[in-house]
Structure 1
Amino acid sequence: MDLTKAQLEQEYTIKDIQTDDEELNAFLFSLGCYSGEKITVVSKFGKSYVVSVKDGRYNIDVNLAKAILI
């Protein structure tokens, strides 16, 4: 399942990043989004997601959220 289906405030483990776009993959990696890392959806605002990865909180759009498999 992808991150858009995650429940708020529940910690998940990233299983894979599913994208053919190397730039998108590199961006997610720079945020700390890679296989085995823990991620939590803090809030959802329309097509925007606030996620917590490691010690940071990031605002990502629905396309990024769909690329993150949990």
Structure 2
Amino acid sequence: MNLSEAQEGKEYIVKGIATEDEELDAFLFSLGCYSGEPVTVISKRKGGCVVSLKDARYNMDTDLAQAILI
């Protein structure tokens, strides 16, 4: 399951990142998005979602949310 399929308001644990792009991998790691970290979908919007990660909120587009496995 990926982050774009998550329910709003429910906490999930990041299982991994499904991308071959090393820059994207490094970017997500710098946000604190890596295996074992909790993540919560605050709200879903057309074309993406707002997530809470490491006491911060981020707006992610659908492609980025689909790369985060939960």
- TM-score normalised to the size of structure 2? 0.96
Q: Structure 1 CA distance, aligned partners of 2:45 and 2:54?
A: 21
Measure, in 2, the Cα distance between the counterparts of 1:21 and 1:2. Answer: 17
Counterpart of 1:33 in 2: which secondary structure?
Answer: coil
User: Which runs of structure 2 are paired with 1:1-70 in the superposition (5 Å)?
Assistant: 1-70=1-70
CA RMSD of aligned residues (A): 0.6
**Separation of aligned partners in 2, 1:36 and 1:50:** 19
What is the CA deviation profile of residues 30-51 of structure 1, one whole-angstrom value per residue up to 9, with x for unaligned ones?
A: 1110000000000111012100
Q: How many residues end up aligned between the 2 structures?
A: 70
TM-score (norm: length of structure 1) = 0.96
2: CA distance between counterparts of 1:61 and 1:27?
14
- Counterpart amino acid of 2:33? C
- Give the letter for the 2:65 counterpart: A
